[in-house]
Amino acid sequence: MHDILVIGGGINGTGIARDAAGRGLDVVLCEKDDLAQHTSSASTKLIHGGLRYLEQYDFALVRKALIEREVLLRAAPHIIWPMRFVLPHHKELRPAWLIRLGLFLYDHLGGRKLLPPTKVLRRKSTGKLDALKDQYRLAFEYSDCWVEDSRLVVLNAVDARKRGAEIMTRTACTSLTRHADYWEAVLQGPKGKETRQFRTVVNAAGAWVDDVLGLDGEAPEKPHLRLVKGSHIIVPRWHHGDHAYFFQNGDGRIMFAIPYERGEFTLIGTTDVPYEANRDKVEITPEEIAYLCKGASAYYKKAITPADVVGTYSGVRPLYDDHAVNASKVTRDYVLKREAEDGAPILSVFGGKITTYRELSEHALAELKDDLPNMKRSWTRGAHLPGGIYRVVISGNMLTDWSCAIRGWTRPCCRASPGPMARGWKTCWAMQLLRPISAGLSGPA
């Protein structure tokens, strides 16, 4: 009998599988499609505290995410890197004092050690506002990080497998039968059906969490999830420089414009739209494209039209329904629910962010501690992901890291792809090959 079945090969499922395997547990992960095929490759790809959640007084989430930001940067500097965000002051929207206060909190809430702090930019003394309309004369520049989201998922799966987990892609869990002290699960994969036994089940099925809860024949009385679609557009490079923009919209929402694919493109997103359609195929609508073009064009000198859009991608946020009226106000924090009333336990993961997956995984395993007493201590804080052995170094106000030195080699094979992950696996093996060379450069941190 195995210790844990993890259902779902997104960031939360692979993160939990890696953590559990490293604690000496016998882990199987099944993913009905490919690793990171759904929400975990459709994010804005930020490792961030979430500046806008301060406005919702969600200080606990922002602090947790800010702490994780530097933990993850140290763990995987080959696929996560610092980015400066320029937030232009819009006179008719939030007052400058409020933004300063928010950024002061953002700089100090999460024990920032590596990333440079916020600074004020004025048009006359910086080129970073040149791409924007002349009315934007003042801006605030702050730090966050960017991640190759699908690669983060693959690296967690690679590490989980290296530590003994069995990773079954293209394999759906189609039935769960609960017994007093174990689960019987039917796994349907490319080679057919098989039935296995597990002491515990972790339901990390993202937008399908409620469906998995119904696999034992007892659907939840009312759904826990609220699905909110977010879409991005990709246009040719709309501004020069490595920095991203943080734009405030008149409707209270915000959007990012981020250098994408080695700066050759600009990624703009995102929307926040309630969603009930096909979860396997999530697509942008013409209205969302128009919304994103209009929002960015309120800032850029050169307007963006739907004809400029060269690519799009969309994903659904599987948020825990806290009954917020507005889709963009539903909490982005995660909720874990362990249920064991009628026998063996199942732990379900609702919501969450890429940024908090490692901490979520630790928390999930703490919830199962009594069910799996042979579990070893937590270990992932401070552990590198495969290939991430470079030391992150600060010099003056600049952030440099050894991975930058080899980024010229790694980045061509580091592209995040919203599609199937065959390329991702190759990428990982490419990273493994680079390892001896990079180890020679920096030595383990």
Contact between 143 and ligand FAD per CB under 6 A? no
Contact 97, 51 (CB under 8 A): no
* CB nearer ligand FAD, residue 352 or residue 386: 352
Residue 71 to residue 47: CA distance in whole angstroms = 10
Contact between 184 and ligand FAD per CB under 6 A? no
Cα–Cα distance list, 369 to 163, 180, 378 (Å): 19, 18, 11
According to CB under 6 A, which one of 152, 202, 205, 267 is a site residue for ligand FAD? Answer: 205
Residue 443 to residue 63: CA distance in whole angstroms = 31
Nearest to 325 by CA among 228, 444, 427: 228
Contact between 352 and ligand FAD per CB under 6 A? yes
Q: Shortest Cβ distance from residue 334 to ligand FAD (Å)?
A: 8
Residue 406 to residue 408: CA distance in whole angstroms = 5
Contact between 52 and ligand FAD per CB under 6 A? no
Contact between 61 and ligand FAD per CB under 6 A? no
Contact 358, 69 (CB under 8 A): no
Nearest to 143 by CA among 29, 229, 48: 48
According to CB under 6 A, which one of 2, 20, 23, 31 is a site residue for ligand FAD? Answer: 31
Report which residue's Cβ sits closest to ligand FAD: 10
Q: Quick one: which segment of 107-115, 154-162, 286-294, 345-353 binds ligand FAD (CB under 6 A)?
A: 345-353
Residues ≥6 apart with Cβ < 8 Å to 217: none
Q: Quick one: which segment of 82-90, 205-213, 259-267, 389-397 binds ligand FAD (CB under 6 A)?
A: 205-213
Contact between 364 and ligand FAD per CB under 6 A? no
Nearest to 145 by CA among 76, 61, 55, 235: 76
The CB density around residue 50, as the number of other CB atoms within 10 Å, is 21
* CB nearer ligand FAD, residue 352 or residue 388: 352
Q: Shortest Cβ distance from residue 147 to ligand FAD (Å)?
A: 8
Q: Quick one: which segment of 56-64, 178-186, 206-214, 337-345 binds ligand FAD (CB under 6 A)?
A: 206-214
According to CB under 6 A, which one of 6, 12, 16, 247 is a site residue for ligand FAD? Answer: 12
* CB nearer ligand FAD, residue 207 or residue 392: 207
Nearest to 99 by CA among 130, 123, 121, 114: 121
Contact between 166 and ligand FAD per CB under 6 A? no
* CB nearer ligand FAD, residue 328 or residue 442: 328
* CB nearer ligand FAD, residue 43 or residue 118: 43
Residue 92 to residue 73: CA distance in whole angstroms = 36
Contact between 6 and ligand FAD per CB under 6 A? no
Residues ≥6 apart with Cβ < 8 Å to 95: none
What is the β-pairing status of strands 311-320 and 2-7? unpaired
Contact between 295 and ligand FAD per CB under 6 A? no
According to CB under 6 A, which one of 16, 20, 152, 173 is a site residue for ligand FAD? Answer: 173
Amino acid at 128: K
E strand or H helix at 410, and its extent? Answer: helix 402-410
Interface with ligand FAD (CB under 6 A): 7-13, 30-33, 37-40, 42-46, 172-173, 204-208, 212, 230, 270, 315-318, 349, 352-355
